A and B are shown apart, each in its own frame.
Chain A
Amino acid sequence: MNPSVVIVDDHELFRAGVRSELAEHVEVVGDATGVDTAVPAILAAEPDVVLLDVHMPGGGGVEVIRQVAKVRPEQRFLALSVSDAPDDVIAVIRAGARGYVTKSISSAELADAVRRVADGDAVFSPRLAGFVLDAFAGSLPATQVDPELDQLTAREREVLQHIARGYMYKEIALRLGISAKTVEAHVSAVLRKLQLSNRHELSRWAVQRRLVD
């Protein structure tokens, strides 16, 4: 069965494009153009996945996630944006989105990402994987580290590097000799760390880090 989707985006053209391109793969049960219309639309339709634009008038995707989560904490979000500024990406993930893809994604990939999020998995684009590796780079003093949350395991790092190199989950599983389910488990673990870790890089690494040392 195709997952049900609500599209939240303030660009009319984009909403129409997603509707027509994903028609075969998902069932679009609603759409909205801004924060105030999105929250009631999502709560009324109770979709499997909300495709959520990060930048919108009235607080953006982060605000939508925050308000919906109060009433319907199990709602799954896939963030979608033209921006690739690391602070935007990290903010929406930390608010609770289960994945982040850029709008340049192909419709096949987008359909796949929606299905994945509907199944409860995390979706990392190569660029998001790069941001995460960057944010978790460098070692912290041992006293400040919560190894459960503040550091990636060698395996998680390896999986993220493969995502950044452009491999699909299936290909990664093949290359690392593990099952696709295990790859997904690693990515979900990274998502959890990304949402819960207190590493200060995650909140304010963004701008400085993109500059030359």
Chain B
Amino acid sequence: MATAAPSAERTPPKRRRWRGSRRIAVGVALLVLAFLLALRQLGLLFPDAIVWPTMLAAAGVALIWRQWGGRSRPAAPPTTVPPADVAGQEQRAAVRNLYRGGFGVALIVGAGLLFLYANGALSGLGDVALTALVAIAALGLILAPFWWRLANTLAAERAERIRSQERAEVAAHLHDSVLQTLALVQQRASDPKTVATLARRQERELRDWLRGRPPTAERESFAAALDAVAEAVEEAHGVRIDVVAVGDHALDERAEALVAATREALTNAAKFAGEAGPVSVYAEASPQRVQVFVRDRGPGFRLDGVPADRRGVRESIVGRMARHGGSATVHTAPGQGTEVELVLEDGRGE
């Protein structure tokens, strides 16, 4: 990971430098143009045949000088970069410099040709120009495979570097997570409950990682926040909680209230029905409506038999949902488990 970050940060300045040299070239050209036009305004007559080629040449010169200036800079802070990376960077920088320099040279040569042409010096040189053109084309054909191979080699090198960085990252991750857990599992082999909890936690963590969900997601996504809550309750009570979520919703204030109510329902289920099997959470979310079902396979209870001072369901679930314009319903009967249904519809209470 330490190897990936710097190279990612280093790319933009490079690009900026390239864009910078283009800007400088154009700037210099415009300055020269302005200077020449000003002189012409003052009465020193320059014909167009001088003004435009001079401008082009100025841009070319600026490009070439800029490139030489750029090459003398230190390439990058080398401390954290593996050697292969430095080599690749330098090679690519060299190609880029070549392109830049070539463009500058082309500009200057073009300027010269334009000047000669405008002064009529080229009229007798048609054949020579043709010869030169053919020679250049032939040279291009000869060099093309070389360029092609160079480009391919660079791409392959880059892919290989990315692969090795990813391998390092995967290894680091597995080391921090799975291997640690396996070590813990071996230590606690005599305590099945702890081992089960450790394994479940590691499984969740690994699945999240495989799914590529960023660690910050649980602060933005309803589904991710739901997963996080289920994980917390599972860990606190040692009960398995299966979460199935369909769709997603932004984690605004009301969705947060829904997540908090779900947490309460899960805690109840884990406390009173945790022995009877896993607790199921099903969430269906769309921009208009979010619905959560928390179901346990416990003994169930009679709703009217709940004492009035049991604040868990009344306050933390029903009351909380009502305050945010939603609703909570408890379906239960002795012997049939309990299901808490939480619904939040948009457009109400807003």
Contact = CB atoms under 8 A, between A and B. Distances in A.
Please say whether chains A and B are actual partners in one complex: yes
Interface of A: 84-85, 126-127, 129-130, 133-134, 137, 161, 164-167, 207, 210-213
B244 A164 contact: yes
Contacts of A167: 295
A213 B250 CA distance: 8
Nearest to A175: B331
Contact of B295 (A130, A165, A211, A212): A165
B345 interface: no
Contact of A210 (B211, B242, B278, B295): B211
Contact of B244 (A85, A129, A207, A212): A129
B151 interface: no
B294 to A, nearest CB: 9
Contacts of B284: 133, 161
Interface of B: 207, 210-213, 217, 220-221, 224, 242, 244-248, 250, 278, 280, 282, 284, 286, 293, 295, 297, 339
Contacts of A85: 210-211
Given A129-B244, A130-B244, A134-B247, A84 B207 contact: yes
B246 A130 contact: yes
Please give me the 10 A-B residue pairs with the lowest Cβ-Cβ distance, nearest first: A166-B280, A130-B244, A165-B282, A212-B221, A164-B282, A165-B293, A133-B246, A164-B244, A134-B246, A166-B295
Nearest to B240: A104
Contacts of A134: 246-247
B247 A126 contact: no
Contacts of A84: 207
A126 B280 contact: yes
B247 A166 contact: no
5 contacts: A129-B244, A137-B247, A210-B211, A210-B213, A211-B213
Contact of A130 (B220, B245, B278, B297): B245
